[in-house]
Structures are given as C-alpha cells and as structure tokens.
Amino acid sequence: MSLNRVMLIGNVGQEPTVRYLNTGICVASVRLATTDRAYTMRDGTQVPERSEWHSLIFWDKLAETVERYVHKGDKLYVEGKLQSRSFDDRQGIHRTVVEIMVSNMEMLTPKGAQGVSNVQGSQGVSNMQGSQGVSYMQGVQSTSNAPGSPISPAESAPAIVNEDVPF
C-alpha cells in the first residue's frame, strides 16, 4: 500500500498562469509559498523564518476557477498529489521538477479581499463535478461534497473566524 497526498496552506506568489489546450481543456499553474515561523530553541539558538515555494497545477473546471478568482497574495488550502517530470533545458542540462497536481482547493482569503468579492451565483463554481472540488470559505459556496450537487450558502458550513483556527 502507498499514499501520495499533499495538503498545503499558503499564499499565492504571483498571478496564475493559465493556458488552454487544443482540446479546450484549461490548465492553470500557481506558485504557492508556505512559511515555517522563526523560533528559538531551548539552548537559545535562533532559527530563522523559512519559506518553501511549491508549483501547483490545476486542470479543467478547477483551473477555470483559479483563472477567475485566484490572485497574487491570496491564501489557499490545496490538496493533491506529487508528480515529477524530467526534461532537458535549452543548455542541454537534464532537469527534474516536482509539481503538485491539485484535486481540491479552498480559498481562505476573506470575501471582498483581492478579487474574491463576488463569487456567489457563478455557474463555473456551482456546476463543478468529479473529483476536483472547490469550496469558498466565509459561507459563500461549496462543491467539494457529492459530485453534481451544489450546496446553497444557507446549507454550507458556518464561517470560520481567526479565533477558530489553531495556528
């Protein structure tokens, strides 16, 4: 038995890169930064803050949602799996990259901040089906439950406030 699962909470580092394949399928790429806080060890040694950058890949309807609603600085929660690929760059050097193929996303940026101001009633969100789900915090809209069964804002989970988050 094996498990390939990634769960991240971080901030979008730059505007998403979105392209459409010849078949019409949307693919979005996002750079996400996660940060380990600085701390002091028991012996007095200071450990500085450290950031990691992750390459996220979104496909199809989830990529279209990223194109419409995700912007630089937004806080995201993503779930997916690691996938690596190799290639030779222009100088002929063999390179390997590790990317996260995202299957689920939650937008954690509060409603009204940086481009997430008006997502209620969006068909691109309410018609999401399959294993790629997206939900909006603050009780706006959620489709990460059963495929093809959108949840109205009244049925969605209560809004999460900063005091509820353990970190």
User: Which CATH number characterizes residue 150's domain?
Assistant: 2.40.50.140
pTM above 0.75, yes or no: no
Q: Could you tell me if residue 137 is inside a domain?
A: yes
Domain that holds residue 118: 6-36+49-164
Q: Could you tell me if residue 44 is inside a domain?
A: no
Question: CA-CA distance, 116 to 88, in Å (whole number)?
Answer: 38
- Residue found under tokens 């038995």: 1
Residues 6+ apart with CB under 8 A from 75: 9, 10, 11, 12, 107, 108, 109
Structural domains counted in the chain: 1
Q: Could you tell me if residue 1 is inside a domain?
A: no
Question: CA-CA distance, 6 to 118, in Å (whole number)?
Answer: 29
pLDDT for residue 163: 53
pLDDT for residue 16: 97
Q: Could you tell me if residue 43 is inside a domain?
A: no
Task: Please say if the pLDDT value at position 112 is more than 90.
Answer: no
Question: CA-CA distance, 65 to 132, in Å (whole number)?
Answer: 11
pLDDT digits (tens, 9 = 90+) for 92-108: 999 999 999 999 999 99
